[in-house]
């Protein structure tokens, strides 16, 4: 994967966290820097950890499925992207202004399940996972902090657009991986 593809992947994976962070920002009456940092750390940390776990799980059976690895990566990314696009039409969930661990941990895990699947897909490609997870974590940290700020300032009108954009980006990434491995490009 080239740097542009990696950045697009990181942004695409960050969109669920960005959308949830916007909702968290909407729930906060007095926005403080700690809200931005907490959202960034929870979502960025989870988004970095999950693809690493997926990658480690995937390398265990890599040799078995190496001949169809590009199809696996394509299928996972497209399915995740379609799910994100479908979810982009859902309304705002109940808003909870808490940034405590018992609130943020389930949100961070839920928003990063797709990153686990992407990590499995990446294990079938020739990528160095450490820079990938660092880029995903930093990108998600920044976009989550920005999401809290935007949500607090502008409300929930951009949530569905963020999820839609994330879904489209993941589908495009899946198609690019498939096309590259089939030798079209």
- Per-domain residue ranges of the chain: 3-179
| The pLDDT value given to residue 103 | 86
pLDDT digits (tens, 9 = 90+) for 47-75: 999 999 999 988 877 666 666 767 776 78
| The pLDDT value given to residue 111 | 81
> Taking the model in full, what pTM does it have?
0.72
* Letter string b/e over residues 16-44, b meaning 16 or more CB atoms within 10 A of that residue's CB: bbbbbbbbbbbbbeeeeeebbebbbbbbb
More confident residue, 173 or 3: 3
Confidence of residue 158 (pLDDT cuts 50, 70, 90): low
Q: Report d(CA 157, CA 83) in Å as an integer.
A: 20
């Amino acid at each position: 994967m080239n740097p542009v593809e990696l950045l697009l992947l990181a942004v695409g994976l960050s969109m669920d966290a960005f959308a949830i962070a916007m909702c968290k920002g909407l729930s906060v009456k007095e926005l403080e820097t700690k809200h931005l940092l907490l959202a960034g750390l929870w979502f960025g940390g989870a988004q970095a950890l999950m693809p690493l776990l997926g990658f480690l799980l995937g390398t265990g059976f890599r040799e078995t499925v190496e001949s169809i690895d590009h199809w696996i990566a394509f299928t996972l990314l497209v399915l995740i992207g379609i799910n994100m696009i479908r979810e982009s039409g859902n309304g705002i969930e109940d808003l909870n202004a808490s940034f405590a661990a018992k609130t943020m941990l389930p949100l961070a895990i839920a928003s990063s399940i797709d990153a686990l699947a992407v990590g499995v897909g990446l294990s079938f490609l020739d990528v160095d996972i450490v820079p990938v997870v660092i880029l995903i974590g930093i990108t998600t940290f920044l976009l989550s902090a920005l999401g809290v700020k935007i949500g607090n300032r502008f409300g929930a009108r951009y949530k569905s657009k963020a999820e839609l954009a994330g879904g489209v980006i993941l589908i495009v990434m899946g198609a690019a991986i498939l096309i590259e491995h089939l030798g079209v490009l």
